Chain A
Amino acid sequence: MSASVELDHVTVKFGQFTAVKDAALEIRGGEFFSFLGPSGCGKTTILRTVSGFLEPTDGAVRIAGQDMAGIGPNKRPTALIFQNLALFPLMSVADNITYGLRVRGMSSGERARKADELLELIALPGQGKKLVSELSGGQKQRVAIARALAVQPKVLLLDEPLSALDLKLRQHMRAELRAIQQQVGITFIYITHDQGEALTMSDRIAVMSDGVIQQIGDGRSVYDAPDTAFVASFVGENNAFAGQITHADADSAVVQTDFGPLRGRNPKALKPGDRAVLFIRPEDLIPVTGAADSTLSSYVTNVSFEGNMTHVYLNGQGAREISMSIGRQGGTDVPQKGAVTPLSYHASNAIVLPEGTMARE
């Protein structure tokens, strides 16, 4: 059983401070939906509003079409997984998992059966008698998931639950979470500041900044076709070149930057004279060998080998830092530190967006 979640122009204020501003979106039943943004962008506020710990100042939250105003967290068809998991340290693993069933008055025999079933689901069979403190980080994670799933929520809310894990385990848990979501088929709303997590797991992502939803779309469109300068600079690495548009048509625009005129796609139909930022991904930059669309001259300041790819840091005019990454398959030579290297890119890989707030490094 899954349910849709609708945010109908939700605004949440704390005194003078607006944490979430006019968020309007509909999450489909059974969807894995992520809110992605830096800390303080309002994503946790949205989650707490959906779970019922906060009431919207304006607008409405609807779950499966039903207005949730005045319905407390204990009465909503949602379950929340906390960032620190918030397992009950004085209860056993099985008691943790079945706590929600206990408060609903389920008999202890049935609870024990249910606990075994859920322990099976999270691959911890027979560990119900253990104390939470005896589990490893990844196991605690799974117990938290089981505890939330036990109450058969229609919507599962996850507040950066993987942030405490180390890299390897985190990557493993991403796949596991996705698998569990497909198995139980309920709606997942996932909060994260880690774009890798959002991109790998989600059906759709809402990118947030300063309480405002910047863009909603699947991972590919958020990465390849960002709507705003913030999304372009926050999701994935990007080189930004600010300037004024000198020439524009339906397909492309030329921005006069510190590096001279650079051409890119013009999806926002900007006009000559507008302030704009041109973004080029590090993996789209190529050291020049022959003729190319556009070139930038620069010299290499640092080269760092990262296994699957090599990062090259360069300085151009105006001492601007540029980063370029070269994959192993490309067959391109990696330039040496100190070398003067003209760079090129395909104009179709660059995007010109209106000037706006950028993500802080």
Chain B
Amino acid sequence: MSSRLFVILIPLIVIAIFAILSWRDTRNNPDPTRKGFFDRNGTVLGLVFIALVGFWMLFLVVLPYLYMVVESFHPKLSPSKRGGPDDVLTLMQYKSFFIEPLSGDMNTIHMWAFGYTIVISLIVTALNFAICYPLAYYMAQTGTARKVRLLMLALIIPYWVNEILRAFSLRLLLASKGLINQMLMGVGLTDAPIDFLGNNVGLFVGLSYAYLLIMVFPLYNAIESLDRNQIEAAHDLGAPWWKIHRDVVIPYAKPGIASGCTMVFMLSAGSLAAPQFLGGPNTLWFTSVVYDFFFQSFNWPRGAAYAFVLLSACIAFVMIVLRLFKVSLGETIK
């Protein structure tokens, strides 16, 4: 019982801490031109804003997550036993990620799925960047307005189709008797159908395509504001095209690159549809494992613990990328 009370108390404590921090900050660095929140919006509207944002943050974001955090530190219990003597705080769900609780063996299947998901997501992120950077550069710097508009439409309209339909249509294209294999065999490039789905080509294509826009737009935004004269100045000073990108464009677009890469990595590590429909028979995506704990074995505590293992890995990745790129978190969301 007490642990679930935490769920309510922790956000309030955090809010109080931040309120004190912000109060200290304004006291130490007073800005006479700054008008107070209520001065700007009026009392009624100000209260409405706070109530709406507060409700949204607290009930739709913070509390569900916290509930899951608490859940992940509990054993799996039938509803009648909850709150009873068996309902204790425990690390067993996290431990089960490393050691299978029934047999006591190393939990290689889940650890492998985890590592696999992280590695494939890293590759997908790199692949996505390689595809999107030239595209974004073209749209932001070289393309004429008309062509850029057409390209944008061509990029955006396919996203009106939902993810599952998109994954299935890719599956149709890439299947053994799918269009691409039939064309390849018709032309005579190959005798037997290539197993695109089995060797994970389908997975890479599906994941890269699913998050194309997520990568293109931050890159586009970042590159678009680069003064064209800087590119020309570097060119004029003797730099060949790749040095211009290395020395001028990429350093400038760093916040956009960091933001695109972190988002694509997170989304791809957490994706469900593409790995399920396009992955090969040996592909076990970590999200599917989490999904199965929730919906197949109804083991919410273990599912929650696994989900947080993935979340921590993603957060660690974001932090590493930001550190590597020397970009602050604030810059990536500009």
Contacts and interface: CB of A to CB of B under 8 A. Distances in A.
A84 B227 contact: yes
A90 to B, nearest CB: 5
B235 to A, nearest CB: 5
Contact of A90 (B233, B237, B238, B251): B251
Contact of B239 (A52, A74, A80, A90): A74
Contacts of B229: 82-84, 86
Interface stretch (B177-185, B214-222, B240-248, B273-281): B240-248
A344 B234 CA distance: 57
Interface in A99-148: 99-100, 102-104, 147-148
A351 interface: no
B232 interface: yes
Interface residues of B, number: 17
A348 B280 CA distance: 94
B236 interface: yes
Contact of A103 (B227, B230, B232, B237): B237
A169 B69 CA distance: 64
B294 interface: no
B232 A74 contact: no
Contacts of A74: 235-240
A147 B227 contact: no
B135 to A, nearest CB: 23
Contacts of B235: 53, 72-74
Contacts of B237: 74, 79, 99-100, 103, 147-148, 151
Given A103-B237, A103-B238, A104-B238, A73 B232 contact: yes
Interface residues of A, number: 25
A173 B247 CA distance: 30
A84 to B, nearest CB: 6
A100, A104, A148: which has the most chain B beta carbons within 10 Å?
A: A100
B239 A103 contact: yes
Interface in A164-222: none
A148 B233 CA distance: 9
B236 A80 contact: yes
B258 to A, nearest CB: 15
A94 to B, nearest CB: 14
A53 B98 CA distance: 61
A274 B243 CA distance: 60
Contact of A99 (B227, B232, B240, B247): B247
A52, A74, A102: which has the most chain B beta carbons within 10 Å?
A: A74
Contacts of A83: 229
B233 A86 contact: yes
B252 interface: yes
B1 to A, nearest CB: 56
Given A84-B229, A86-B229, A90-B252, A79 B236 contact: yes
Given A82-B229, A103-B243, A88 B236 contact: no
A347 to B, nearest CB: 50
Contacts of A84: 227, 229
B330 to A, nearest CB: 17
A51 interface: yes
A353 B290 CA distance: 89
Nearest to A83: B229
Nearest to B232: A53
Contacts of A80: 232-233, 236
B44 to A, nearest CB: 43
Interface string A71-101: 0111100111011101110100000000110
A230 to B, nearest CB: 30
Contacts of B243: 103
Interface string B23-59: 0000000000000000000000000000000000000
A115 to B, nearest CB: 14
A104 B234 CA distance: 12
B7 to A, nearest CB: 45
A300 B240 CA distance: 63
A100 B238 contact: yes
B247 to A, nearest CB: 7
Nearest to B234: A99
Nearest to A75: B238
B262 to A, nearest CB: 21
A88 B248 contact: yes
Interface of B: 227, 229-230, 232-240, 243, 247-248, 251-252
Give me the 4 closest cross-chain CB pairs, A-B, nearest first. Answer: A100-B237, A86-B229, A86-B233, A103-B239
Interface of A: 51-53, 72-75, 78-80, 82-84, 86-88, 90, 99-100, 102-104, 147-148, 151
